[in-house]
């Protein structure tokens, strides 16, 4: 079968037309014919052996891709989590598949779930966001950030503050639901002053963070109090585009009512993951199919993967491979 394979961690994945078909093993496994699979940060860092879930993997030739849309032997079209999804065929687990509605195209259905996981799971379960709350999204100009803005609005956020570098994309986020825009291209003092000003007038209940690194330090500094009562802020780390480590002053933790947590594979309970697959993603599929959730994708063919693997994508656009 056609597949995209990796021989060594960290190398550019290679296209081959001759890889052995996968075989389902147990009762819960089934082979699907893949139609589309998105290339996300997760796939790149897993392929590079850098993701925390793949650090102990042994080097061997394997098909890459962690999720995708395919057709079951009975003709049903599903989105599923699995291994080796960048190929004509892949084995999936029957209890990890979601039926794709008829009016949603393969590529959009392949691109959306990872971003839904990266936004709805943090808002719903780690931040326990409630209607009427104020949410700050750090790194909102990315693909997942753009989905997070729309889902936070859909979940009833009263005010949404977005940060990022790209001025054009930041302004475009207003049309998706953002109320206040903070440019990370300003000097540190201006970023802190802007966030403090907002926090003093409309306390920031939830921070959804895709960047970590320096901008997270600035946001946390902005939340520091001066000994008086402070509003509670739940800060949830989802990604670390600009660095895996920060410096965190103990004074910030003592002077503000701050809750720090993370949202990702390993932090969710089995029940929460079940809700993602069986309730949250199906709901978001319906919103996308009806045009209420905007999803920007760029489609490429499997055969072109080698030359396009390192391609710079425009802000907020997801690369999707179709077969």
Q: Are 208 and 138 in contact (CB under 8 A)?
A: yes
Distance CA 38, CA 65 (A): 8
Collapsing DSSP states into helix, strand and coil, what is residue 192? helix
Q: How far is the CB of 66 from ligand NAP (least distance, A)?
A: 11
Q: How far is the CB of 118 from ligand NAP (least distance, A)?
A: 2
Going from the C-alpha of 113 to that of each of 4, 56, 138, 244, the distances in angstroms are 21, 26, 20, 24
Which CB atom, from 22 or from 145, has the smaller least distance to ligand NAP?
145
Closer residue to ligand NAP (CB): 32 or 117: 117
Tell which residue, 96, 125, 89, has the closest CA to residue 238: 125
Closest listed residue to residue 32, CA positions, set 61, 58, 69, 70: 70
- The answer to whether 169 touches 198, Cβ cutoff 8 Å, is no
Q: Pick from 78, 88, 112, 122: which is nearest to 5 by CA?
A: 88
For ligand NAP, the binding residues (CB under 6 A) are: 41-42, 114-115, 117-118, 139, 141-145, 164-166, 169, 184, 210-211, 215, 238-242, 263-264, 315
Between CA 284 and CA 288 the distance in angstroms is 6
Q: What are the C-alpha distances in Å from 259 to residues 162, 220, 253? A: 20, 11, 9
Candidates 57, 66, 205; CA nearest to 123 is 205
Nearer to ligand NAP, 162 or 323 (CB): 162
Q: Smallest distance, Å, CB 162 to ligand NAP?
A: 10
Residue showing tokens 């598949």: 97
Nearer to ligand NAP, 89 or 234 (CB): 234
Closest CB 218 distance from ligand NAP, rounded Å: 11
Residue nearer to ligand NAP on the CB measure, 82 or 164 = 164
Q: Which two tokens stand for residue 114?
A: 């990872």
Shorter beta-carbon distance to ligand NAP: residue 70 or 145 = 145
Q: Rounded to an integer, what distance in angstroms lies between the CA atom of residue 231 and that of residue 134? A: 12
Which secondary structure element, helix H or strand E, spans residue 281, and what is its range? Answer: helix 281-289
Our CB check for ligand NAP shows the closer of 53 and 200 to be: 53
CB closer to ligand NAP out of 132 and 243: 243
- At closest approach, how far in Å is the CB of 273 from ligand NAP? 11
């Amino acid at each position: 079968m056609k597949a995209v394979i990796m021989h060594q961690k960290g190398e550019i994945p290679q296209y081959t037309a001759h890889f052995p078909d996968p075989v389902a093993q147990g009762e819960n496994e089934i082979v699907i014919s893949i139609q589309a699979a998105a290339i996300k940060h997760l796939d790149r860092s897993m392929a590079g052996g850098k993701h925390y879930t793949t650090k102990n993997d042994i080097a061997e030739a394997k098909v890459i891709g962690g999720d995708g849309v395919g057709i079951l032997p009975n003709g049903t079209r599903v989105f599923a989590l699995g291994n080796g999804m960048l190929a004509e065929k892949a084995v999936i687990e029957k209890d990890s598949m979601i039926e794709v509605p008829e009016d949603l195209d393969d590529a959009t259905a392949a691109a959306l779930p990872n971003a839904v996981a990266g936004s709805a799971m943090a808002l719903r379960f780690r931040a326990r966001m409630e209607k009427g709350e104020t949410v700050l999204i750090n790194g909102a100009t990315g693909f997942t950030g753009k989905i997070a803005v729309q889902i936070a609005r859909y979940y009833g956020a009263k005010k949404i503050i977005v940060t990022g570098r790209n001025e054009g994309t930041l302004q475009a986020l207003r049309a998706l639901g953002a109320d206040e825009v903070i440019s990370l291209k300003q000097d540190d003092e201006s970023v802190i002053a802007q966030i403090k000003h907002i926090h003093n007038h409309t306390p920031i209940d939830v921070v959804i963070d895709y960047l970590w690194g320096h901008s997270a330090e600035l946001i946390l500094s902005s939340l520091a109090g001066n000994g008086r009562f402070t509003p509670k802020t739940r800060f949830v780390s989802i990604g670390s585009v600009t660095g895996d480590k920060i410096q965190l002053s103990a004074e910030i933790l003592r002077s503000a009512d701050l809750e720090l947590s993370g949202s990702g594979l390993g932090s969710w309970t089995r029940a929460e993951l079940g809700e993602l697959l069986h309730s949250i993603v199906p709901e978001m599929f319906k919103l996308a199919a009806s045009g209420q959730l905007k999803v920007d994708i760029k489609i490429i063919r499997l055969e072109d993967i080698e030359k396009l693997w390192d391609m710079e994508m425009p802000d907020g656009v997801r690369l999707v491979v179709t077969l």
